[in-house]
Amino acid sequence: MDSFDDFKITSNLRNALDDLGFEKPTPVQEQAFPIIMSGRDVVGIAQTGTGKTVAYLLPLLQSLPFSKEKDPRILILVPTRELVIQVVEEVVKLATYSSIKALGLYGGTNINTQKTALAEGADVVVATPGRLYDLVLSRALQLKTIKKLVIDEVDVMLDLGFRFQLVNIFELLPERRQNIMFSATMTDDIDALIQDFFVGVQKISIAVSGTPLGNIAQYGYAVPNFYTKVNLLAHLLQDVSVYQKVLVFVSNKRKADLVFEQLQELYEEEAAVIHSNKTQNYRIRSIKQFDEGKNRILITTDVMARGLDLNEISHVINLDTPRYPENYMHRIGRTGRADKKGVAILFYTEKEMAFKEAIETLMDYQIPILELPEAVGISRQLLSEERPKTIEPDNPHKLDRDQVPGPSFHEKSEKNKKTNQGGSYRRKLKAKYKKPKSRGDKNFNRRKKR
């Protein structure tokens, strides 16, 4: 399609798209619009950055009639708080010229404030599964009016352990509804959800996750350990003209903080970090400052950056090689968006070699390896998991199976052979009176003895 005019959308939506500068629909938007408008259940497998948020919002808002109903009619579930905020902003932008009201619900904030906002009414609710489930159980939110359900980044939700809440939410929703699900990968767990709760599913697939994006240049560095990786990162970031806006991925929160502390000494206000241990205001501020260009470097984990619409990222640096090759595709999809060029750099140690090879197998592409710059110092400092574990031969931490001693057997002493038979007083009474025939016949045994 050459333009959004082919969708035959309302003038309100068309004006909103013009304001946003959207002229031509992306492939996922082009495929999803007619299917969602038809009312069928849809499962979309789409690469990060393909415009899938607008792909489901546009037909949903197009088909949403005016109503004085206070309870929501569209429910959108996303895995993180940041993604809730982002999707709500997209709804607000597209609904600029209409009366559609959107509300975001997520944990980490006062639930009573959200209950008050729900009482005022909303057409579209965007929520994380945990907080939504809490509000439904407290009867602050009614799901009986939901006509359309969207589950975005469902693979991340399942990774975060939201399956229980998702299944329970499915059970509480009206049976007659349209289900729309988007994910970057298709797993057995996702397929099980589709089989259990979706009817007559239409599948669409755009930019399969195993295919490297053509406008992203990829490079790799073989690095001996974590702190040498940090030294290499600090060295590369010195070239401000090349590394203009850099997203750095690490595997966990502890490493994110370590990298941030090291970079802050060199780059002060240029670096920011986000992960789930940071406060909501801190996370929102860090993302906003990075997106606006106030911070040049943002350090994050996979879960926090998944699905975030961050503009014009020049480089994605994988400080840790992801264990699952699909996560690598999610990471590098942050750059090279909207037909712009991007660069993805992978740091890997000898222990991470197998992960790198799995990524290359998935992509069917060999990542070019660059020589480590001479100016980068090789650190001798090691993380606890990197230190060699030496086991003393005469004092092993773990014994071989054949060295484990068996149970010890010996005759008990005469004293320890005794068994507890109760006090002597109880034994004498029991022998004298035995057990009464009934509870009320206390003199039965006495009469018998006479």
DSSP, collapsed to helix, strand or coil, labels residue 317 as strand
Q: State residue 210's pLDDT score.
A: 46
The pLDDT tens digits for 370-429 are 999 999 989 998 888 888 876 666 665 565 655 555 666 667 777 777 777 667 767 777
Q: State residue 148's pLDDT score.
A: 95
Domain spans in the chain, listed from the N-terminal domain onward: 4-206, 216-370
Q: State residue 103's pLDDT score.
A: 96
> Which residues of the chain are under the pLDDT cut of 70?
1-2, 47-49, 207-213, 304-309, 338-339, 390-410, 421-422, 425, 434-450
Q: State residue 75's pLDDT score.
A: 96
Q: How far apart are CA 220 and CA 124, in angstroms?
A: 43
- Distance between alpha carbon 232 and the CA centroid of its chain, in Å? 28
Helical (H) or strand (E) element with 395? none
Q: Taking Cα atoms as reference points, which of 191, 179, 173 lies closest to residue 152?
A: 179
How many residues would you count in the chain? 450
Q: State residue 394's pLDDT score.
A: 64
Sheet holding 148-152, edge to edge: 102-105, 124-127, 74-77, 148-152, 178-183, 42-46, 202-206
Q: State residue 390's pLDDT score.
A: 67
Q: State residue 209's pLDDT score.
A: 47
Is domain 216-370 in CATH 3.40.50.300, yes or no?
A: yes
Q: How far apart are CA 151 and CA 164, in angstroms?
A: 14
Asked, colleague to colleague, whether 4-206 and 216-370 share their fold, the answer is yes
Contact 306, 79 (CB under 8 A): yes
One of 3.10.50.40, 3.40.50.2000, 3.50.50.60, 3.40.50.300 is the CATH number of 4-206, namely: 3.40.50.300
Q: State residue 306's pLDDT score.
A: 65
Q: State residue 441's pLDDT score.
A: 52
